[in-house]
Structure 1
Amino acid sequence: MSLITDTQALAALCERLAESKFVTVDTEFIREKTYWPRLCLIQVAGEDEAACIDPLADGIELAPFFELMRDASVLKVFHAARQDLEILMKLMGELPKPIFDTQVAAMVCGFGESVGYETLATRLANAHIDKSTRFTDWSKRPLTERQVIYALGDVIPLRKVYRKLAAVLARSGRADWLAEEMLVLTTPATYVPDPREMFRRLKSRTKNPRFLAVLRELAAWREMEAQRRDLPRQRVLRDEALLELAASAPTTPAALAETRQLPKSMTDGPVAEAIAEAVEAGLSLPMGECPDLPAHKDHPPGLAPVVDLLRVLLKTKCDAHGVAPKIVATTEELEDLASSDDAPVRALSGWRRVLFGEDALRLKHGHIAFAISPESGRIELIPVEDAPEEDEDFTEDGVVVAPMSSAAGAA
């Protein structure tokens, strides 16, 4: 059974793996009862070797593995890496480098949106992933041979998946596309939540600045308390209680006791004092410094057909280039693009503009149109010879109509 349970064996393994050009990595963890995920198992594979590392084994030190993760000469390959990277960021104080996420790469290469590992392993590595042990309690010891074999199945086929995707990226010239998509994953701030921004995750029915100021202070206190006690946020105080406290803004023990969603145990003592202080901080904030939420976007009337056309164009272009539409533009971004040629959307910059954005603008301005090919029966784009100039009005059934860009700008 390929299970590493002592530091000496781990150091020897990592020394061998450091000779590889890449390693595949996965983790098993639990976090149902904690704020921070508790690492229970690490799976790693080089080009010719694979093993599980038991971080719960008595006396084991993970320093050799962390050094491997820091080794810039070895590429670290993950699938859907965000949670794995969150764990390693917390333990190492920094992110592994460099990183390759096969889920992101698969989207760039046209395997669909948020494609699962099982799908990729089957299609690219001809491997069957046994998921019968996926809900096991990885914190229990000893681990069984079946658990170890299952865990290794998350990194051994991943080697072939990586090679296949890397080859596709090289042939298609999309390595830069992937690098752009990996920016969020490779930014340390992604894994260090700002307590003062946590209020934005709550589903508030009001945008009253004073209410939001109190809610921000309460949510920040809960976040820091959850981290300090290593408890899930909802175990410290439920969202409903935060929203009720922000609405009623109690600053005395008596007022706290009237909060229906607040447990009785929190209406007195140090916790009650901390809650009252957070409320006071929100109430005393100058109105000009109160937070706000993004305003609802009022798009011009009659925009839906334009969005529908852009959606057809997006699907057509993505099908032709073998890339997932979600990675190019979301519905909200299509709405923004339909409203304005200068919308701050991803589709108007970088490789997305080349693939979709330029033609989206041409379609809006009537320079291209859709047609159905008689040979293939598929949608194709055709130029419009008499397309209006950028600033030229044109007539339709005797009515003067402004070009879409002008109309959008006026809106």
Structure 2
Amino acid sequence: MIETTAELAAACKELATSDFITIDTEFLRETTFWPELCLIQMASLTTEVIIDPLAKGIDLAPFFELMANPNVLKVFHAARQDIEIIFHRGGLIPHPIFDTQVAAMVCGFGDSVSYDQLISRTKGVQIDKSSRFTDWSRRPLSEKQLDYALADVTHLRDAYIYLKAELEREGRSSWLSEEMDILESRETYDMHPDDAWQRLKMRLRKPQELATVKYVAAWREREARSRNVPRSRVLKDDAIYEIAQQQPKDTEALSRLRTIPKGWERSAAGTAVLEAVNAALALPKAEMPHVPRHTQAPEGAAAAVELLKVLLKLISEKHGVAPKVIANSEDLDKIAADGEKAEVAALSGWRRELFGAPALQLIKGEIALRFVGKKVDTVSL
């Protein structure tokens, strides 16, 4: 296991000569806002390394330089959390990247295929998962833990080679570009505290409620980051919902809320929440956030969406692509309601060619669905 900066620099220099490298990390984040990086694993076709980022005095600069090297493709599985860690620690996003989970969906492995499922289907190897939930921050790590960690990147090499060949054979390599662009976008990992409210899923009816949610969620985000604790340790989502609805303006009103622990209203956090609520309510009417209007779906829209779901499943099975990559439920709702005017990814690029165009034909009554030999198929009208 690499524990010095000199060893790390030598390993990264060797890895930088490869066309691609596979990468995985082990981390903990149960008690922190930012994930605690505990281990880094990398492999090329000729080199395999494990790095101890907790080693005393180690500087990860050579690793971050490798992540920024445009000549080396970085291969991850379910890349988002790994990239989030690299972005937080190194201030950069790896480029270029290849996510085998996304590639597997494009190649027909189903929605959000797990790493062990991918390796089982591409290599016929069953992975020992007994070390998955161990404490990676404890030292020394056992040989079993190290073998498990290294296997995450050595098997990934073969999975990448398999998926790359499948994508090229099917002419689908370009289909990944849109998803990779999202994974390489700084906005994916660098959410501004003022936008933290977007993580919360709720129906709000009044501008004052939305303003309160935005201000309180922004305070919670800053507080959680500064203290490096999970958001729920600062204030639970349910409490934000209740605060938005009741809009307490003083400690007495705050103390009456069911989601607020007894005495919390007199704490510094309680004071800060009240300041956020009052600031939100003091906004001029013109500056109040706009509450999106939820237009009522026309009669029969639910049945129309169900037909689109059948068409989506039919096309995904026929072409061997996971439905989730093509369109989600919200996309189908919008297509059913707005047709060609729907602003969804399913109506552009390869998704339109595969599904969007037939979906619009179905809506216009130009094609229909029918049973043929106990199977569903489309027929032109």
- Once the two structures are TM-superposed, the CA of residue 306 in structure 1 deviates from its matched residue by 2.3
User: Corresponding residue for 1:350?
Assistant: 349
Q: 1:61 to 1:297 in 2, by over 3 A?
A: same
User: Are positions 1:16 and 2:23 aligned together?
Assistant: no
Deviations along 1:249-287, one digit per CA (max 9) or x if unpaired, are 333344444444334554335434322221221110112
User: Corresponding residue for 1:388?
Assistant: none
User: Corresponding residue for 2:105?
Assistant: 107
| Equivalent AA in structure 2 for residue 365 of structure 1 | K
Percent sequence identity is 51
- Once the two structures are TM-superposed, the CA of residue 112 in structure 1 deviates from its matched residue by 0.7
- Once the two structures are TM-superposed, the CA of residue 379 in structure 1 deviates from its matched residue by 3.1
In 2, the alpha carbon distance for the partners of 1:263 and 1:139 equals: 32
User: Corresponding residue for 1:394?
Assistant: none
SS in 2 for 1:154: helix
Which of structure 1's runs of 4+ aligned residues deviate more than 6 A? none
In 2, the alpha carbon distance for the partners of 1:195 and 1:135 equals: 31
User: Corresponding residue for 1:409?
Assistant: none
In 2, the alpha carbon distance for the partners of 1:313 and 1:254 equals: 56
User: Corresponding residue for 2:237?
Assistant: 239
User: Corresponding residue for 1:320?
Assistant: 318
Structure 1 stretches of 5 or more lacking a match?
385-411
1:378 paired residue among 360, 375, 379: 375
Which structure dedicates a bigger proportion of its chain to helix? 2
User: Corresponding residue for 1:85?
Assistant: 83
User: Corresponding residue for 2:136?
Assistant: 138
In 2, the alpha carbon distance for the partners of 1:50 and 1:106 equals: 24
- Once the two structures are TM-superposed, the CA of residue 205 in structure 1 deviates from its matched residue by 5.3
**Range that drifts further, 257-266 or 360-369:** 257-266
In 2, the alpha carbon distance for the partners of 1:310 and 1:327 equals: 15
**Range that drifts further, 364-373 or 146-155:** 364-373
User: Corresponding residue for 2:284?
Assistant: 286
In 1, the alpha carbon distance for the partners of 2:147 and 2:230 equals: 31
In 2, the alpha carbon distance for the partners of 1:258 and 1:378 equals: 59
| Equivalent AA in structure 2 for residue 383 of structure 1 | S
- Once the two structures are TM-superposed, the CA of residue 49 in structure 1 deviates from its matched residue by 1.6
In 2, the alpha carbon distance for the partners of 1:298 and 1:353 equals: 26
TM-score, reference length from structure 1: 0.88
Structure 1 segment 297-312 matched on structure 2, within 5 A: 297-312=295-310
User: Are positions 1:368 and 2:367 aligned together?
Assistant: yes
User: Corresponding residue for 1:166?
Assistant: 164
- Once the two structures are TM-superposed, the CA of residue 18 in structure 1 deviates from its matched residue by 0.6
Structure 2 stretches of 5 or more lacking a match?
none
User: Corresponding residue for 1:50?
Assistant: 48
**Range that drifts further, 290-299 or 42-51:** 290-299
- Once the two structures are TM-superposed, the CA of residue 378 in structure 1 deviates from its matched residue by 3.5
In 1, the alpha carbon distance for the partners of 2:203 and 2:111 equals: 31
Larger Rg: 1
2:332 paired residue among 328, 331, 334: 334
User: Corresponding residue for 2:212?
Assistant: 214
Q: 1:379 to 1:141 in 2, by over 3 A?
A: same
In 1, the alpha carbon distance for the partners of 2:377 and 2:207 equals: 49
Q: 1:173 to 1:224 in 2, by over 3 A?
A: same
| Equivalent AA in structure 2 for residue 310 of structure 1 | L
SS in 2 for 1:26: strand
In 2, the alpha carbon distance for the partners of 1:382 and 1:202 equals: 42
Q: 1:256 to 1:307 in 2, by over 3 A?
A: closer
SS in 2 for 1:147: helix
Structure 1 segment 200-279 matched on structure 2, within 5 A: 200-204=198-202, 206-264=204-262, 266-268=264-266, 270-279=268-277
TM-score, reference length from structure 2: 0.94
SS in 2 for 1:34: coil
| Equivalent AA in structure 2 for residue 347 of structure 1 | A
| Equivalent AA in structure 2 for residue 240 of structure 1 | D
**Range that drifts further, 314-323 or 138-147:** 314-323
Root mean square deviation, CA, Å? 1.8
Deviations along 1:199-226, one digit per CA (max 9) or x if unpaired, are 2333545422112212211111011010
Would the aligned equivalents of 2:206 and 2:291 in 1 still touch at CA under 8 Å?
no
Paired positions, count? 380
Would the aligned equivalents of 1:200 and 1:293 in 2 still touch at CA under 8 Å?
no
Would the aligned equivalents of 1:207 and 1:292 in 2 still touch at CA under 8 Å?
no
